[in-house]
Structure formats: C-alpha cells, structure tokens
Amino acid sequence: MTKFEFRINTKVGVLVIHFDTPEEFENNLKSIDIESLVKASKDKLGNFMALETRQPKPGFENTYRFTPDGLVELLKVPEAKIDTIGLVLFAFDPSPATFNQVARSSGIQDPSVYLSKEMYQRYFTRTKEGYLLNQEGKAWILKDVVPKLKPQSLQN
C-alpha cells in the first residue's frame, strides 16, 4: 500500500497518482513527458482531462483571471509596477507565486527589483516556494491598489 497520493481534479473525476516517498514522486515527474501524456489521453479519451481553471476571488472576476496554464491574467492593470506585482500576488494568495509566475503574470521581467526594495519589503514574505503577500500587503492591495482600478464614476 502506498503512503502518499497526488490528486488532480478533472471534469469527469479525480486522477490519483500514488507514491511512497516525495523523492519517488519527484523522480517519476522528471521522467514523465506530461504534454505527450495529456495529448495521448485526449486523442484516446477526448477532452476529459481538461483541468478546471482556478477562479478569481469573489468580486475580482473583472480584475483578473487564471489562464489554463495557471498564470494570472490581469484584466485591469495598475499604472505602477509595484502595484501590478502586488495584485498578481493577491490573485495567487493563499498560494505562494514563484518568481517565474510573478514575472510572466505581471509582464515585469525582473520583479525582484521591486520585491527587494526596502520600502516595499514590508508587504511581502519570501518562502522556499515563492512570494506571498503578508497581512500588511493584503491591506495595501485592498485599500490602495484596488480602488485605483475602479472607474471614476464608481469611486464617488
């Protein structure tokens, strides 16, 4: 009997991958050509493996959305780059966003320039998995950034 399992939700059910150690899972993932596996499955079984795209937080459906590959697409882009990075991290919350996810989702080639600035560090937490907004960062996005994205007629 296996010790662990990794579950992927699909339109028709759950795909479960069993493994005994995290190392075994990682090694198996390295040896699997995911794109070929998905293509072969679609060819044979149709589009049953289409993964559900993550949904935006309630009330933010017109601000951003998730792409099928898991990135954030901003539907309203803040003027300031730091605000854009913050909004991307807000969208990914509560999951950390990798450097690559932040760069690709924000369109900013080197977000570390902003993430590492002392004046902005109070908003972010860096973990092994990536970057998160801390509580002060979430308050900043909700109080300062989001209101700037609303049309002027709605702000009055």
Whether 54 is covered by a domain: the verdict is no
The two beta strands, 64-66 and 72-74, are antiparallel
Query: Three-class SS of residue 100?
Result: helix
pLDDT tens-digit series, residues 69-93: 789 999 999 999 999 999 999 999 9
CA distance 128 to 140: 24
pTM: 0.66
Is residue 58 situated within a structural domain?
Answer: no
53: in domain: no
* 41 lies in the same domain as 69: no
Q: Look-up: residue for tokens 């995290």?
A: 22
| DSSP class of 123 | G
Q: What total number of domains does the chain contain?
A: 2
Q: Are residues 78 and 113 in the same domain?
A: yes
Phi, psi of 59 (to 5 degrees): 90, -10
Is 151 exposed, middle or buried, given 0-12, 13-18 or 19+ CB atoms closer than 10 A?
exposed
Q: Do 68 and 138 share a structural domain?
A: yes
Per-residue pLDDT band at 156 (split at 50, 70, 90): very low
Q: Which two tokens stand for residue 3?
A: 């010790």
* Residue 50 covered by a domain: no
Q: Does some domain include residue 18?
A: yes
Q: What's the domain range around 117?
A: 64-150
User: In angstroms, rounded to a whole number, what is the distance separating the alpha carbons of residues 129 and 141?
Assistant: 22
- Say whether both 84 and 139 belong to one domain: yes
